[in-house]
Structure 1
Amino acid sequence: MIAAAGSPARGWLGRFLLDPGAPLRTLTRAVEHLLAWPAVIALVLVVAGMLAVARVLVTVRAHRLAARGRQITVRTPPEVDAKAALALWAHLIGQLRPAWARLLLGQPHLGWEYTVTPEAGAAIRVWVPGSIPSGLVERAITSAWPGAHTHTLEAAEPAVPVSGPAARRLLVGGQLRLGRGEGYPLRTDYAGDFVRDVITAAEDLDPGHAACVQILARPVTGRRVRRAVRTASPRTGLVLGLARDLLNLLTPGPVTRPATTTAGRGRVQEWQAVLESTAAARAAAVKARGPHWETILRYAVSVPVPPDAEPGLVRTLREVARGRADALATVAGSAAEYNYYRRRRQLRLGRVLCERRLGRGDVLSVPELAALAHLPYDPNLPALQRAGARALAPSPEIPSQGAYIKSLGVADSASGRPVGVRVSDARHHLHILGPTGVGKSTLLARMILDDAEAGRGLIVIDPKGDLVTDVLSRLPKRLAEKVVLFDADSSAPPPCVNPLDIDRTSHASLDLAVDNLVTVFHRIFSQFWGPRTDDVMRASLLTLCAQPGVATLADLPRLLTEAPFRARVTRTTTDPVLLGFWSAYETLSEAGRAQVIGPLLNKLRAFLLRPWVRAAIAAGPSTVSFGEVLDSGGICLARLPKGSIGEETSRLVGSLLVARTWQATTARARQPAADRADASLVLDEAQNFLHLSTPVEDMLAEARGLRLSMVLAHQNLGQLPRELRDAISANARNKVIFGVSPDDARELARHTSPWLSEHDLRHLDAFHAAARLLVHGQQARPFTVTTQPLDPPVPGRARHIAAVARARHTRPGPAPANTPVTDPRPGDPRIT
């Protein structure tokens, strides 16, 4: 409908019909206004401000992602599975954040680095930003490579040394980027090993030089992958496709010329190109499957420059560094297939290497990344830091901490949780094996301190002295009243434990005490001990114990050599067998008697001529009851250093203390089982003290029911006779094994295979051990554990506890002229 003449047009349609050029003129005036200089300047300022703000936000986000970075050093296991890297990078793809988190906070990336220096050799490290939870990457690495060890430092070091105020260095390198579109794949099935080639290319570096290959990677979304695949697609665009269809309509007919010889060759070449393009497209389609990472690969060589270096020397060093860097870059040529790496310059190389910056990188599939970032396959690769033994996490049923848990340390795995053995399971006894200096004494001291804190009875026999010294200097002061101390280096008289001070109302106790004494002497002096010596000692001890009062070992030489004393003692003997022995003894001539008793007396006198020993076992009635020590939570510490009293004397005194402990333990059979308190007997260098008349296998089996836990520690299996070795192997069912010899590893691997092999037991580091424990009486699978260092010693604590113990358990008497107990100080070699 048309408006009447003279009336204004209504609506935009009417205005357009009356003046069709008005919108164009309006748009033109607006553009002219915007193009005025003030508007242009304002627009430029706005755009520049927005770009600056965006740059600041990106920088802040990058610094936030990289803050509190950690550096994980990975030590390669003895055997590396070629597919383990695929599992690692496929597992870590789970760190991809949601879209809103990537937009606001960014996506954190990882840095996989190979570094080579002549001082430290080759190392493989993983840089992890603080935004990734602690322990996640460590657990992923140990899960992919079960035998790998990881060591994490909170403050990440630079990938290579760079110039600083103290030293000037030349840094030569660059970055490697894909030469074709991201959609085309690299080669992943070549027979070589990228890591081995990198480390080999950096071999024979001069002192102070360093080389590094750094691979930064972060997971990407499907949209980023589709954009990368589009670059490898043979399809044309929409406009070109429409134009091609239009030309086909306008010019119908065949598009190729009749075949000639030249045209035939061209067609063959064309078909080859088509096949090659099809194969590349198929490979790109394969790459598009699965998760992907955005990566950048950088390489660098750092060379120190002397402060007074001449220009010619600097040029020479630069050429050397460039040659090394080129060798690293050419290693990437082994990955060339449908795609390849091309070298590019890297601005501010030192800064981006140290800050691990990842801007826009190349998209790689998991197999491509795994071919570049993995642990080396070659077990003989020189200068590579390798893991000695696999770190095996404890099973969930292994206890951690508690009132009824004896602590062993922390798990040697990413979890690092405390581990221990239950008191009820410790009744099956604990066998600790390992050479000196690996941490046995530290483990024993911690277990002793735990038992003391818990109020469980303790008897500790230490033939070296360091263990008791460590315990004394760390015991709480409130436990001083419970301590019984035998210290061969002390100038004060020791407590007395008379092996002949027994319950005379029990013939079983008398027979056991005499049997133990004779067996101890027999086994310690086995090379010089015969049946006649055994008969003389047994009859003499039974005769002395049958007399009123308390006999001592010091009475034994008098009985054999002094006729008046012998007549007075034997006058009251009623046993016909003993009377027959002494009647035959009296018929011997002096020379005959000397020949019979000589082997016994020369051993016994050498033993009793030591004042400290005589005071400890032959000074009269006992001043210490081992039964009370076991039942009331006492702490008996026997420090018997071989260097002070001799090896044989240390073994003899320790064996007598073990015999006394066993007598007190067997006396528990008269108590109800519920009333027997848990106690422990700790024997360091246990092979020196297991000389009782009771077979060790029977002793271990009976001790469990009597609630005595035995801890048997020594250095190697060769120290044990075959019978003793078999008894401990079968009846000490909790095993803690430190690094052992190949022969021992072969024997002990029966307890830990298939989880821990012979190789693992041989290559355990110091303060690392393999443990296989009982859990509720059932054997759990083995695991690896790291022993924890002891707390610092308390100054004056050992002296205070020793003084309290002397006041309670010794009688006044002449003191042996020896050295007193002293407190260990920091740096003292006795502290382990």
Structure 2
Amino acid sequence: MHIDFRAQPTPGPDGHGGLIGELITRPGAHLPHLLTAAGHHAIPLAATMAAVVLGGVAVTVWVRRRREQRWAEGARQVEILVPPQVAPDSAQVFWEHLHGALARRWWQRWWWSGQHLLGFEYRISPGEGASIRVWVPSCVPPHLVENAVTVAWRGARTHTTDAAPPLPVAPAGQHSLLAGGELRLARHARWPIRTAFPGDPAATLINAASAMDPGTTACVQVLARPVTTRPDQHTSSSGTPTAFAGFLTEFLREFVGLFLPGPVRAARTPARPQPRHGYGSGDRQVGLEQSARDHAAAGKAVGPQWATVVRYAVTAPVPADADKQTCARVAAMVRGRAHAVSSYLSGASGHNHYRRRRHPRLREALTARRLGRGDLLSAPELAVLAHLPTDTAIAEIHRAGARALAPSEVIAFGGPGTKPLGRADAQRGRHVAMRVSDARHHVHVLGPTGCGKSTLLGRMVLADADAARGLVLIDPKGDLVTDVVARLPQHSAGRVVLFDAASTGRPPCLNPLDVLTFGGDLDLAVDNVGTVFARIYNQFWGPRTDDLFRNSLKTVCIQPRPASLADVERLLTDDTYRARLTTHVKDPVVQRFWRAFDSLGDSGRGQLTAPLLNKLRHLLLRPFVKAALAGGPATIDLRAVLDHGGLVLARLPKGRLGEETTRLLGALLVARTWQAATSRADTPEAQRRDAALYLDEFHNFLHSSTPVEDMLAEARAQKLSMVLAHQNLGQLTPTLREAVSTNARNKIYFAVSPEDSRDLARHTSPQLSEHDLAHLDAYHAAARLVVNGQNTAPCTVATEPLPPPVPGRARHIRAAARTRTTPHLQPPGPPVPTAGPTLPAPKVPRLDPRRR
């Protein structure tokens, strides 16, 4: 039916009337026509609009669910390891940094990917302790959150894994009892919560959940999404968008205005009296409170805003066949713990506060990590909800070890003329190496047993062997030499000289008194041997014994054949042999000594020689030691080893030789090596080849006549790099500690004791503190290297394992080493350059002395 509205009366002069007026005054005449028109037009239109609205809602929900599904498929979980010291404002820096990194433009938010969100989760379990994790969806770029953590919390470490549900799954034969809910703001979101109050909410949460029964797990999840719209347009007090609420109010006002004359409730609204005492109220106190709230709301609206929701839950497993009393008891315990966990934000009550709300599908909501229209919070407020505990006394929290520091760009990464150290744990895939020319400043390696110290030495030895650089390795344990021999390159088999105390074959002869075979300084040799014996047996070595030993050494060395320590024992016990040798002594001082010795008589001579003879016999009774020290002319030319790329590997386990014998044999080998290194002074510096001396437990072997500080200073000029490794600073004398601290400039520290970390932190501060040095992971080290004579900033390195052993390589090298003598070594070619074409020497910026 068609209705002709032209016949309807026109409005009257009073402003009322028209169609609506006619319908009100004469409803019976026009109501049938209106109902008929509605049946033909309004109802189909309403149905169409309802279908469009429902379709739009369905599409929106589908798009949102698909978006959340894509986020969850590649999501990751970043566990934050708490540093030893946490600054109170670090969490605010963290959230402000992420707001700028995650906030997207309006067209990006309405597109398929949506606005990114994060989940800050606390998980506390009596068996596992307390862990803090950040759930990161797949749409967030890699390492973004990890970098934000290390920037905000100095010294924090991160461990990234695939995302996992926040609550554990009940094992087979059990089911879980769950209690929890949501924490939502009780008042309008424009009113802020309290951000400055005594106590630490995170510490309160962990302490409240740490006393739970075994198997119980508590979880608090804070979901946060950046908000870029105006805060006053985000939410109302009931969670309804303010713009939409205003539209509904205006629409209702206009609709009611069709029926009522004039403005709505204009005549019924009394005039508001003006305040007499100030802001907003007649009461001065109320006015001040209102002013404070408004100032707080204005301050909240200034900074970055986040849409947030807080969910909490406590779960505990019970047997599937448990009776009702057991289930009721566990359920009551879970509810009580859930209430205790939910109260961790009670201290934040101020202009606004949190109240608990039930959630019908709490476990699914925690796992899905869905965030609808949450509560609006500023960055300082969000930092109260989600932060690292500042209380250092919490033992349950997972704390960080040493911080990861990237190496300087001037540090070598590998290639010819370098020694590998490992990989930088702060830069994935970045190798760290030390140039051979920088290794001449010597290397100090410190760390306890089992931390990776021997692995590092093994890789450096293999690099030298592969580059045909001469080296001497002394191992007082034995495992290092065994590992190296099984992995040596094939071309180095003919250059190996092996001392193995466990071998049944005849070892090479060192003979520290042989100055005839390869040449040498007699006085220096005698001085080195005498000093080594005096320092090894210092508790039983007096001035008369030292005098007797040095005169005996000089006497036996005058014979035409190479002398040995066995000749000293014969000189003191065989009168005929002694009389024959003393007749050829030219030194008047030595002649007077033997005349005085002979005048003592048998009893006096016995008392004088007994302390020396018991030590010599103790050595010579061991077949390996006698063959290595007194087996005839020396078969090892250490000068040729250093110049021509030989490999001297001394396996001297203390368990087989004894501590004193190992120290004596190793010290004599070091003394001979030093004597050979100083003899290279007659070679032009440009023609000297780089060589290395590796000493594990080096404090046992540095007993030569040359002071350690002088030895370290002069070795660099002779291109002999010394790698000094040991376990702790207590093993060193004050003089030796100071010499190594000053002259061994390349520092590599594994996990050291707290006592040592206080002293060693002087070399790594301020980048690495005492805590960092004492909490290094296994096979991780802190390195402070020298590049072109200047110290670089310390970095952390993860050492790499040794390559797999070559089958049959150790047997082949040992067989070749039985008959190998160093006079047959041939120079493999010109000196290997210390820096290849891929490693140009960079220009190191001059460091400020105040930063050292």
Q: Is TM > 0.5 for Structure 1 vs Structure 2?
A: yes
Alignment equivalent of 1:297, drawn from 276, 301, 310: 310
* Aligned counterparts of 2:236 and 2:682: Cα–Cα separation in 1: 84
**Equivalence for 1:91:** 97
State how 1:471-482 maps to structure 2 within 5 Å. 471-482=484-495
Bigger shift: residues 131-140 or 264-273: 264-273
**Equivalence for 1:824:** none
Figure out how many residues of one structure are paired with residues of the other and give that number: 787
Per-residue deviation at 1:608? 1.1
**Equivalence for 2:145:** 137
Alignment equivalent of 1:333, drawn from 326, 330, 346: 346
Deviations 1:405-433 (A, max 9, x none): 33333345476743333322221111122
* Aligned counterparts of 1:64 and 1:266: Cα–Cα separation in 2: 51
Bigger shift: residues 234-243 or 579-588: 234-243
What RMSD in Å do the two structures reach over aligned CA positions?
3.9
CA distance 1:454–1:59, change in 2 (3 Å): farther
**Equivalence for 1:425:** 438
**Preserved contact between residue 65 and residue 106 of structure 1 (Cα < 8 Å):** no
**Equivalence for 2:115:** 107
Deviations 1:66-96 (A, max 9, x none): 2333222222222211011111111112122
CA distance 1:391–1:76, change in 2 (3 Å): same
Alignment equivalent of 1:172, drawn from 179, 184, 188: 179
Per-residue deviation at 1:796? 4.4
Per-residue deviation at 1:726? 1.7
- Is 1:364 aligned to 2:372, yes or no? no
Alignment equivalent of 2:558, drawn from 546, 554, 559: 546
Match of 1:721, as an amino acid? T
Per-residue deviation at 1:41? 8.9
State how 1:717-736 maps to structure 2 within 5 Å. 717-736=729-748
**Equivalence for 1:709:** 721
Deviations 1:651-699 (A, max 9, x none): 0111111111111111211111112222211111111000000010000
CA distance 1:297–1:725, change in 2 (3 Å): same
Alignment equivalent of 1:190, drawn from 188, 194, 197: 197
SS at match of 1:485: strand
* Aligned counterparts of 1:144 and 1:266: Cα–Cα separation in 2: 40
**Preserved contact between residue 419 and residue 434 of structure 2 (Cα < 8 Å):** yes
**Equivalence for 1:818:** none
**Preserved contact between residue 431 and residue 712 of structure 1 (Cα < 8 Å):** yes
CA distance 1:267–1:752, change in 2 (3 Å): closer
**Preserved contact between residue 572 and residue 609 of structure 2 (Cα < 8 Å):** yes
* Aligned counterparts of 1:677 and 1:172: Cα–Cα separation in 2: 73
Match of 1:295, as an amino acid? T
CA distance 1:449–1:137, change in 2 (3 Å): farther
Per-residue deviation at 1:745? 3.1
CA distance 1:308–1:586, change in 2 (3 Å): same
Bigger shift: residues 296-305 or 621-630: 621-630
**Equivalence for 2:461:** 448
SS at match of 1:186: coil
Match of 2:331, as an amino acid? R
Per-residue deviation at 1:573? 4.0
**Equivalence for 2:364:** 351
Deviations 1:482-522 (A, max 9, x none): 3222111122222222212335796x622222111111111
Per-residue deviation at 1:724? 1.5
Alignment equivalent of 2:271, drawn from 250, 255, 276: 255
Match of 1:552, as an amino acid? S
* 5+ residue gaps, structure 2: 10-32, 824-852
State how 1:758-769 maps to structure 2 within 5 Å. 758-769=770-781
**Preserved contact between residue 146 and residue 392 of structure 1 (Cα < 8 Å):** no
**Preserved contact between residue 496 and residue 623 of structure 1 (Cα < 8 Å):** yes
CA distance 1:565–1:194, change in 2 (3 Å): same
State how 1:260-271 maps to structure 2 within 5 Å. none
Match of 1:294, as an amino acid? A
* Aligned counterparts of 1:131 and 1:159: Cα–Cα separation in 2: 20
**Equivalence for 1:637:** 649
CA distance 1:589–1:51, change in 2 (3 Å): same
SS at match of 1:202: helix
**Preserved contact between residue 426 and residue 734 of structure 1 (Cα < 8 Å):** yes
Per-residue deviation at 1:195? 0.3
Per-residue deviation at 1:248? 11
Per-residue deviation at 1:629? 2.3
Deviations 1:44-77 (A, max 9, x none): 8777666555444322221222233322222222
Bigger shift: residues 194-203 or 738-747: 738-747
**Preserved contact between residue 78 and residue 158 of structure 2 (Cα < 8 Å):** yes
* Aligned counterparts of 1:612 and 1:746: Cα–Cα separation in 2: 43
**Preserved contact between residue 495 and residue 623 of structure 1 (Cα < 8 Å):** yes
**Preserved contact between residue 113 and residue 126 of structure 1 (Cα < 8 Å):** yes
CA distance 1:739–1:706, change in 2 (3 Å): same
Per-residue deviation at 1:645? 0.7
Deviations 1:779-821 (A, max 9, x none): 223344333344454554433432332343599xxxxxxxxxx
**Preserved contact between residue 73 and residue 126 of structure 1 (Cα < 8 Å):** yes
- Is 1:737 aligned to 2:753, yes or no? no
Per-residue deviation at 1:125? 1.7
* Aligned counterparts of 1:637 and 1:760: Cα–Cα separation in 2: 34
Bigger shift: residues 47-56 or 461-470: 47-56
Match of 1:599, as an amino acid? P
State how 1:766-781 maps to structure 2 within 5 Å. 766-781=778-793
* Aligned counterparts of 1:502 and 1:271: Cα–Cα separation in 2: 104
Bigger shift: residues 593-602 or 164-173: 164-173
Match of 1:368, as an amino acid? E
Per-residue deviation at 1:40? 9.3
* Aligned counterparts of 2:457 and 2:262: Cα–Cα separation in 1: 90
CA distance 1:268–1:294, change in 2 (3 Å): closer
**Equivalence for 2:482:** 469
